[in-house]
């Protein structure tokens, strides 16, 4: 199976870094979709199949919290894995995100190895690797 | 008011975070005067505001060479590649974002909830009033200076 992965972050630097990490993992990727805020990401989700969402929290237009809340309120996306990559350090916020159905939370700065492991875990384990 | 031991600890922790983010070797200069916030050569600024039990801003400032080096490293580009001003400022803003998120928990701990603004980039020094409590940390990143100013209102 080849996966479609969506990256949502207002920083083009972060979007490109995450894309590069995905490309050097052995995860079979069909397509990488990049969005700069939650609103754009929601629009794409309504028209394209996505296997995993990687999202930031603090973004203009629609932040990560609102985006995740919207996604998880829709029956079709209840089981969509969402990985959060953010500068968020508050334990309370992390608990809230987990309660909202987020698969994993990575704190910036992150290492490529840590992201790779989180991606594999979010997509269902090591058997996904070619 | 933070004690000197806390400030030293925060400064050292932040050095590691900057090193991990910029992929540059970061040292704390011994003779740098932290109180000298505004320097004419460091004319690129980024700011992230934080709001919560405390509020304020975190500023970072550096020169053009630093912005270029950071964007090259963060994007994993070759030196020879042309890096646009937009790429440089985006990487610089992202560095401000990471520093702010980490600095908030270093100063106030992980038990409180803070909201951060999207980072802003500008070329004029910020108006730091006498009513603001601020700390300034300087870092030597492979010969290039990065200054971090933490302001609590």
CB contact under 8 A, A58 and B115: yes
CB contact under 8 A, A109 and B113: no
Q: Quickly list H helices, chain B.
A: 4-22, 64-75, 85-108
CATH code for the structural domain at A3-128: 3.40.50.2300
Roughly how many angstroms between the first and final C-alpha of chain B, as a whole number?
A: 12
> Residue A129 pLDDT > 70, yes or no?
no
Enclosing H/E stretch for A42: helix A38-45
Residue-range domain boundaries for chain A: 3-128
Q: What is the pLDDT of residues B57-108, one digit of tens each?
A: 999 999 999 999 999 999 988 766 689 999 999 999 999 999 999 999 999 9
Instruction: Specify the higher pLDDT residue, B118 or B33.
Output: B118
Instruction: Using DSSP bridges, classify how beta strands A3-8 and A52-55 pair: parallel, antiparallel or unpaired.
Output: parallel
Q: How confident is the model at residue B131 (pLDDT cuts 50, 70, 90)?
A: low
Residues of A in contact with B94 (CB under 8 A): 11, 13-14
- Best residue of B101, B116, B121 to probe chain A, by most A CBs closer than 10 Å: B101
Lowest-pLDDT choice from A48-62, A71-85, B121-135: B121-135
Mean pLDDT of chain A: 92
Domains of chain B: 4-31+41-152 (3.40.1550.10)
Q: Which two tokens stand for residue B118?
A: 């999207």
Q: Is A113 on the interface with B (CB under 8 A)?
A: no
Rounded to an integer, the average pLDDT of A34-59 is 96
- Best residue of A7, A9, A10, A11 to probe chain B, by most B CBs closer than 10 Å: A11
- Cα nearest neighbour of A85 on chain B: B98
Q: Which two tokens stand for residue A65?
A: 């919290």
Size of interface A-B (CB pairs under 8 A): 64
- Surface-to-core class of residue B22, CB atoms within 10 Å of its CB (0-12 exposed, 13-18 middle, 19+ buried): buried
Distance CA A118, CA A25 (A): 11
Backbone angles phi, psi at A33, to 5 degrees: -110, 130
Instruction: Specify the higher pLDDT residue, A73 or B2.
Output: A73
Distance CA B7, CA B128 (A): 20
Beta bridge partners, B133, equal: B152
Q: How confident is the model at residue A128 (pLDDT cuts 50, 70, 90)?
A: low
Contacts of residue B20, defined as CB under 8 A and 6 or more positions apart, other chains included, come to: A109, A111
Three-state SS sequence of B99-123? HHHHHHHHHHCCCCCCEECCCEEEC
Instruction: Specify the higher pLDDT residue, A130 or B93.
Output: B93
Q: What is the pLDDT of residues B36-48, one digit of tens each?
A: 556 667 889 999 9
């Amino acid at each position: 199976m080849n996966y479609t992965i969506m990256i949502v972050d207002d920083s083009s630097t972060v979007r490109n870094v995450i894309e590069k990490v995905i490309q050097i993992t052995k995860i079979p990727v069909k397509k990488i979709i990049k969005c700069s805020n939650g609103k754009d990401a929601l629009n794409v989700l309504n028209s394209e199949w996505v296997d995993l969402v990687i999202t930031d929290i603090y973004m203009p237009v629609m932040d990560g919290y609102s985006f995740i809340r919207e996604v998880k309120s829709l029956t079709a996306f209840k089981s969509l894995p969402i990985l959060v990559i953010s500068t968020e350090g508050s334990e309370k916020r992390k608990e809230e995100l987990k309660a909202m159905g987020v698969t994993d939370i990575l704190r910036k700065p992150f290492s490529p190895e840590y992201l790779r492991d989180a991606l594999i875990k979010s997509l269902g384990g090591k058997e996904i690797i070619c | 008011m933070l004690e000197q031991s806390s400030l030293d600890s925060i400064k050292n922790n932040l050095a590691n975070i900057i090193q991990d983010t910029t992929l540059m070797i970061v040292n704390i200069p011994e003779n740098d005067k932290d109180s000298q916030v505004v320097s004419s050569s460091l004319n690129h600024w980024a700011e992230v505001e934080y709001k919560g039990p405390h509020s304020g801003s975190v500023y970072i400032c550096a020169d053009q060479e630093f912005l270029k080096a950071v964007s090259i490293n963060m994007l994993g580009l070759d030196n020879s590649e042309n890096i646009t001003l937009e790429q440089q400022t985006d990487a610089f803003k992202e560095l401000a974002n990471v520093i702010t998120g980490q600095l908030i928990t270093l100063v106030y701990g992980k038990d409180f909830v803070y909201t951060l603004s999207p980072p802003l980039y500008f070329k004029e020094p910020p108006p730091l009033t006498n009513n603001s409590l601020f700390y300034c940390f300087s870092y030597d990143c492979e010969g290039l200076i990065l200054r971090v100013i933490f302001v609590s209102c």
